[in-house]
Structure 1
Amino acid sequence: MKSPSFALRLKTAFLTADDGLLMRGAFFTLLAAAGAFLFVDLREMTQASAAFPGHDPMTTGAPVLPPALTDGVPQTAPVDPASSPEILRQPMRFELLPGGQLKAEGSIDPGAAGRFAEEIAARGEYVKEVTLNSPGGSVADALVMSALIREKGLNTKVATKALCASSCPLVFAGGVAREAEQDAILGVHQVFNGSQDQPSPEQAMSGAQSTTARIARHLDEMGIGNGLWIHALETPPDRLYYLTPEKMAEFKLTTEPVATAKKAD
């Protein structure tokens, strides 16, 4: 029988801990102690990475919107995104819109954070809010973008039928005020190696733990609840854990109530 996954064991340990352990420091302690579990699961992680090399949204033919993981059964996304897969697969680009909105659309390719920083430096006095429409991509770039958004005191938003998946919610988390409109599509899953180069078991273990700690620390600094990252850890890279408005509010990912679409007269 296949042993429980690292993420499931971590989630079980976290949820069954005494109340006194449900503190910020205890969460990081659990992450550090998870190294032993991670070593047992390395073979499965390596196989999964090899099985899904095309799940980098920059790769032609990659699924921009993976099926959901609900009680282990794949489900469709709550709604279809307004943008086509071709648009979402393109490298991230930026457009200044009226009202101080900077639209960030496309995959978070390596280098997206640098272009974003240049855009903010050139138009920073006009930008009040960053609107996101992205299937995700580079975790490193997403974290840098998120930190810059918070440093500049900007807000973030995912509009109706816009997509913010994989590493994109890390960018979204940087907003001082964070709004997801009705039917906005937000989802998370495990981070994975999208490159064709397969690391050694030691490198895979070190990289997974380092990335896990870095993301958890960033979300904590942004004021996001620990439960968000737990759900990401237990969701395979070819699935998405789609976030309902209730879950987004519970994890403090959103600070604004979901806007209700206006009914036509």
Structure 2
Amino acid sequence: MRPVGAFKAMISMDDGVLMRGAFYVLLAAAATFIVIDMREINKAEAARPGFETVPDVPTFFPPTTAPGVPGAPPVQPSSPEEVLRKPMTFNLVSGGVLYAKGIIDPGAADRFAGEIDARGEYIKSVSLDSPGGSVDDAIAMSKLIREKAIATKVGEKALCASSCPIVFAGGVTRAAEKNAVVGVHQVFNASIESPSPDQAMASAQAITARVARHLDEMGIGAGLWIHALETPPSQLYYLTPAEMLKYRLTTNATEDVGTGAG
């Protein structure tokens, strides 16, 4: 007869195996739905006024429904879509604030690094207004921000969605002003044309692991990534100021993040 302690250890081990197995099943299902959702997103985005094609850049713009409707943002972002649809631009203003606005297109990280090399000593914070984009570029920008000990913020009614919160997480201090629109969802690789289910699953697993590891290195709570995994790429999970503080996405108290929905 096995000792009681050994039996409990076996139960604990079985629970761990079951939990890991359930996670991979959910991830595989998410990868399949990502492929379907991306086709629907492309159709919907192409039908929106002012649509511009930026290749291989997954982004998401909040629906233009009134606040309070299920799935709608807490407020409408102030920047026009036609501005946010353009590749990311950088503008350094007084006070050492570098405004980063637009899609995180492939190459945005290189342009950002060029700004840091040219004027890094003057840059104290990066203010984000972006619907997201390239995950690789977002991670590279985030790492450079942390390396250079720069702060990040999302201004009032500015948008920081999809992969943009990855950049936001790099700040040594991080603030979201009142009515900042910060949203997360599943990340995906748009560079694979017509991926098979196996390709989609492998891509989703690899990207999920990279982002989760990076957020952990930045000191962000795991609960944030759970919300992202639970939200299809055709939607956004909008974070409240309380949630941003809880998951350590913001580091400042209520005077910076406001008290309403974020």
Do both proteins adopt the same fold according to a TM-score greater than 0.5, normalized to the shorter chain?
A: yes
Tell me whether 1:49 sits opposite 2:49 in the alignment: no
Over 3 Å counting, the alpha-carbon distance change for 1:204 and 1:157 in structure 2 is same
Equivalent residue number for residue 181 of structure 1: 177
Map Cα deviations across residues 165-214 of structure 1 (whole Å, 9 max, x no partner). Answer: 11100000000000111111101011134357111222211111010000
Q: What is the percentage of aligned positions where both structures have the same residue?
A: 55
Unmatched 5+ stretches in structure 2: 1-11, 54-58
What is the TM-score when the length of structure 1 is the normalising length? Answer: 0.79
Deviation of 1:76 after TM superposition, in Å, equals: 1.7
SS of the residue aligned with 2:193? Answer: coil
CA contact (8 A) 2:188 2:203 kept: no
Equivalent residue number for residue 231 of structure 2: 235
- Report the residue type matching 1:60 in the other structure: E
Over 3 Å counting, the alpha-carbon distance change for 1:254 and 1:63 in structure 2 is closer
Partner Cα separation in structure 2 for residue 157 and residue 37 of structure 1: 33
Partner Cα separation in structure 1 for residue 167 and residue 45 of structure 2: 17
Tell me whether 1:200 sits opposite 2:196 in the alignment: yes
SS of the residue aligned with 1:136? Answer: coil
Over 3 Å counting, the alpha-carbon distance change for 1:192 and 1:67 in structure 2 is farther
Equivalent residue number for residue 60 of structure 1: 52
Over 3 Å counting, the alpha-carbon distance change for 1:45 and 1:185 in structure 2 is closer
Aligned residues: 232
Over 3 Å counting, the alpha-carbon distance change for 1:201 and 1:63 in structure 2 is closer
CA contact (8 A) 1:39 1:205 kept: yes
Aligned pair partner of 2:244 in 232, 240, 248: 248
Tell me whether 1:146 sits opposite 2:142 in the alignment: yes
Equivalent residue number for residue 23 of structure 1: none
Worse-superposed segment, 138-147 or 185-194 = 185-194
Map Cα deviations across residues 201-244 of structure 1 (whole Å, 9 max, x no partner). Answer: 22211111010000000000000000000001111111111111
Write out aligned runs for 1:77-88 (5 A). 77-88=73-84
From the CA coordinates, give the structure whose radius of gyration is larger.
2
Over 3 Å counting, the alpha-carbon distance change for 1:127 and 1:56 in structure 2 is farther
CA contact (8 A) 1:55 1:238 kept: no
Equivalent residue number for residue 27 of structure 2: 38
Equivalent residue number for residue 122 of structure 2: 126
